[in-house]
Amino acid sequence: MSERVRSFIAILLDDPVRAAVAAEVERLKPLAHSVSWVAPQNLHLSLKFLGEVEVAALEAAKEALAEAASEAEPFTLTVHGLGAFPGLARPRVIWVGVAQGARECQAIQARVEAALAQRGMPKEARPYTPHLTIARVRAPRGLAGLQQAIARDARREFGQVGVTSISLMRSELHPEGARYTELYTAPFSRR
Protein backbone atom coordinates (compact mmCIF):
# COMPACT_ATOMS: atom_id res chain seq x y z
CA MET A 1 0.00 0.00 0.00
CA SER A 2 1.46 3.37 -0.99
CA GLU A 3 1.77 6.31 1.33
CA ARG A 4 -0.91 9.01 1.24
CA VAL A 5 -0.27 12.62 2.16
CA ARG A 6 -2.86 15.13 3.34
CA SER A 7 -2.05 18.31 1.44
CA PHE A 8 -3.22 21.72 0.24
CA ILE A 9 -2.03 24.67 -1.83
CA ALA A 10 -1.70 28.07 -0.18
CA ILE A 11 -0.35 31.58 -0.09
CA LEU A 12 1.75 31.98 3.04
CA LEU A 13 1.69 35.08 5.23
CA ASP A 14 4.62 37.17 6.35
CA ASP A 15 5.32 37.50 10.08
CA PRO A 16 3.83 40.98 10.76
CA VAL A 17 0.47 40.05 9.21
CA ARG A 18 0.45 36.64 10.89
CA ALA A 19 1.16 38.35 14.24
CA ALA A 20 -1.67 40.87 13.73
CA VAL A 21 -4.18 38.12 12.92
CA ALA A 22 -2.91 35.99 15.83
CA ALA A 23 -3.43 38.95 18.20
CA GLU A 24 -7.03 39.23 16.98
CA VAL A 25 -7.53 35.50 17.58
CA GLU A 26 -6.25 35.89 21.15
CA ARG A 27 -8.69 38.77 21.69
CA LEU A 28 -11.63 36.72 20.35
CA LYS A 29 -10.83 33.41 22.11
CA PRO A 30 -12.44 34.23 25.48
CA LEU A 31 -15.72 35.20 23.77
CA ALA A 32 -16.76 31.63 22.83
CA HIS A 33 -15.81 28.22 24.19
CA SER A 34 -17.28 25.98 21.49
CA VAL A 35 -14.77 27.17 18.89
CA SER A 36 -11.57 25.53 17.61
CA TRP A 37 -9.00 28.23 16.83
CA VAL A 38 -6.25 27.98 14.22
CA ALA A 39 -2.74 28.13 15.69
CA PRO A 40 -0.77 31.26 14.65
CA GLN A 41 1.89 29.25 12.77
CA ASN A 42 -0.87 27.61 10.68
CA LEU A 43 -2.50 30.81 9.39
CA HIS A 44 -2.48 30.89 5.59
CA LEU A 45 -4.68 31.65 2.60
CA SER A 46 -5.82 28.38 1.02
CA LEU A 47 -6.07 28.14 -2.75
CA LYS A 48 -6.96 24.45 -2.99
CA PHE A 49 -7.43 21.59 -0.53
CA LEU A 50 -6.14 18.39 -2.10
CA GLY A 51 -6.95 16.08 0.80
CA GLU A 52 -5.34 12.65 1.08
CA VAL A 53 -3.36 12.01 -2.12
CA GLU A 54 -0.81 9.42 -3.17
CA VAL A 55 2.80 10.58 -2.85
CA ALA A 56 3.12 10.18 -6.63
CA ALA A 57 0.29 12.72 -7.09
CA LEU A 58 2.38 15.32 -5.27
CA GLU A 59 4.74 15.42 -8.26
CA ALA A 60 1.79 16.24 -10.52
CA ALA A 61 0.69 18.90 -8.02
CA LYS A 62 4.19 20.45 -8.10
CA GLU A 63 4.06 20.56 -11.91
CA ALA A 64 0.62 22.20 -11.75
CA LEU A 65 1.86 24.83 -9.29
CA ALA A 66 4.90 25.60 -11.43
CA GLU A 67 2.65 25.98 -14.48
CA ALA A 68 0.17 28.25 -12.67
CA ALA A 69 2.95 30.35 -11.13
CA SER A 70 4.73 30.79 -14.46
CA GLU A 71 1.82 32.94 -15.67
CA ALA A 72 1.45 35.01 -12.49
CA GLU A 73 2.80 38.42 -11.57
CA PRO A 74 3.61 39.40 -7.98
CA PHE A 75 0.83 41.32 -6.24
CA THR A 76 -0.03 42.88 -2.90
CA LEU A 77 -2.67 41.35 -0.69
CA THR A 78 -4.45 43.43 1.97
CA VAL A 79 -5.68 41.21 4.81
CA HIS A 80 -8.86 42.93 5.90
CA GLY A 81 -12.08 42.31 7.79
CA LEU A 82 -13.73 39.58 9.83
CA GLY A 83 -16.69 37.42 8.91
CA ALA A 84 -18.21 33.96 9.02
CA PHE A 85 -19.39 31.23 6.66
CA PRO A 86 -22.20 30.60 5.93
CA GLY A 87 -23.10 33.82 7.79
CA LEU A 88 -22.79 35.53 11.15
CA ALA A 89 -26.23 34.34 12.34
CA ARG A 90 -25.10 30.67 12.35
CA PRO A 91 -21.33 30.67 11.87
CA ARG A 92 -19.44 27.46 11.11
CA VAL A 93 -16.14 29.04 9.99
CA ILE A 94 -14.72 32.34 11.25
CA TRP A 95 -12.49 34.09 8.73
CA VAL A 96 -10.31 37.08 8.02
CA GLY A 97 -10.89 38.43 4.54
CA VAL A 98 -8.94 39.90 1.67
CA ALA A 99 -9.51 43.37 0.20
CA GLN A 100 -6.82 44.47 -2.26
CA GLY A 101 -5.52 41.43 -4.14
CA ALA A 102 -8.76 39.42 -4.02
CA ARG A 103 -9.07 39.33 -7.83
CA GLU A 104 -5.45 38.26 -8.18
CA CYS A 105 -6.06 35.46 -5.62
CA GLN A 106 -9.07 34.32 -7.61
CA ALA A 107 -7.05 34.38 -10.83
CA ILE A 108 -4.15 32.32 -9.42
CA GLN A 109 -6.61 29.91 -7.80
CA ALA A 110 -8.36 29.44 -11.16
CA ARG A 111 -4.98 28.75 -12.83
CA VAL A 112 -4.13 26.22 -10.10
CA GLU A 113 -7.54 24.51 -10.52
CA ALA A 114 -7.10 24.31 -14.31
CA ALA A 115 -3.53 22.98 -14.09
CA LEU A 116 -4.55 20.35 -11.53
CA ALA A 117 -7.59 19.33 -13.59
CA GLN A 118 -5.31 18.73 -16.59
CA ARG A 119 -3.49 16.24 -14.37
CA GLY A 120 -6.66 14.40 -13.37
CA MET A 121 -7.41 16.09 -10.02
CA PRO A 122 -11.03 17.07 -9.39
CA LYS A 123 -12.13 20.71 -9.51
CA GLU A 124 -13.78 22.36 -6.53
CA ALA A 125 -17.54 22.73 -7.08
CA ARG A 126 -17.98 25.78 -4.83
CA PRO A 127 -16.94 29.24 -5.97
CA TYR A 128 -13.63 30.40 -4.49
CA THR A 129 -13.64 33.21 -1.91
CA PRO A 130 -10.16 34.28 -0.73
CA HIS A 131 -9.96 34.19 3.08
CA LEU A 132 -7.93 32.98 6.05
CA THR A 133 -9.80 30.53 8.26
CA ILE A 134 -9.10 31.51 11.88
CA ALA A 135 -11.62 29.22 13.64
CA ARG A 136 -14.23 26.49 13.24
CA VAL A 137 -17.37 26.56 15.37
CA ARG A 138 -18.02 23.20 17.06
CA ALA A 139 -21.42 24.08 18.57
CA PRO A 140 -23.76 27.01 17.80
CA ARG A 141 -24.32 27.93 21.48
CA GLY A 142 -22.90 30.81 23.47
CA LEU A 143 -21.68 32.77 20.47
CA ALA A 144 -23.36 36.15 21.05
CA GLY A 145 -20.19 37.89 22.31
CA LEU A 146 -18.13 36.49 19.44
CA GLN A 147 -20.76 37.45 16.86
CA GLN A 148 -20.87 41.02 18.22
CA ALA A 149 -17.07 41.33 18.14
CA ILE A 150 -16.92 40.06 14.56
CA ALA A 151 -19.64 42.49 13.46
CA ARG A 152 -17.87 45.37 15.24
CA ASP A 153 -14.50 44.59 13.61
CA ALA A 154 -15.82 43.60 10.17
CA ARG A 155 -13.63 46.26 8.55
CA ARG A 156 -10.44 45.84 10.58
CA GLU A 157 -7.19 45.84 8.58
CA PHE A 158 -4.37 43.44 9.50
CA GLY A 159 -1.72 44.55 7.02
CA GLN A 160 -0.37 43.76 3.58
CA VAL A 161 1.48 40.79 2.15
CA GLY A 162 3.63 40.84 -0.97
CA VAL A 163 2.69 37.66 -2.84
CA THR A 164 5.45 36.27 -5.06
CA SER A 165 4.81 32.51 -4.87
CA ILE A 166 2.39 29.72 -4.01
CA SER A 167 3.17 26.71 -1.84
CA LEU A 168 2.28 23.03 -1.66
CA MET A 169 1.76 22.14 1.99
CA ARG A 170 1.59 18.89 3.93
CA SER A 171 -0.92 18.71 6.79
CA GLU A 172 -0.36 16.20 9.57
CA LEU A 173 -3.08 15.85 12.18
CA HIS A 174 -1.94 15.41 15.78
CA PRO A 175 -3.85 15.44 19.10
CA GLU A 176 -2.42 18.90 19.86
CA GLY A 177 -3.48 20.23 16.44
CA ALA A 178 -2.46 20.23 12.80
CA ARG A 179 1.17 20.61 11.80
CA TYR A 180 1.94 22.08 8.37
CA THR A 181 5.13 21.61 6.38
CA GLU A 182 5.98 23.37 3.14
CA LEU A 183 6.81 20.74 0.50
CA TYR A 184 7.31 22.93 -2.56
CA THR A 185 7.31 26.61 -3.49
CA ALA A 186 6.46 27.81 -6.99
CA PRO A 187 7.73 31.38 -7.52
CA PHE A 188 5.83 33.68 -9.85
CA SER A 189 7.79 33.96 -13.10
CA ARG A 190 6.34 37.16 -14.57
CA ARG A 191 7.82 40.25 -12.97
Catalytic residue numbers, as ranges = 44, 131
Sequence length of the chain is: 191
Distance CA(86)–CA(128), nearest Å, equals: 13
Under 8 Å between Cβ of 101 and 164: no
CA nearest 35: which of 109, 124, 140, 115? 140
Burial 91-120 (b: 16+ CB within 10 A, else e): beebbbbbeebbebbbebbebbbebbeeee
Residue type at position 18: R
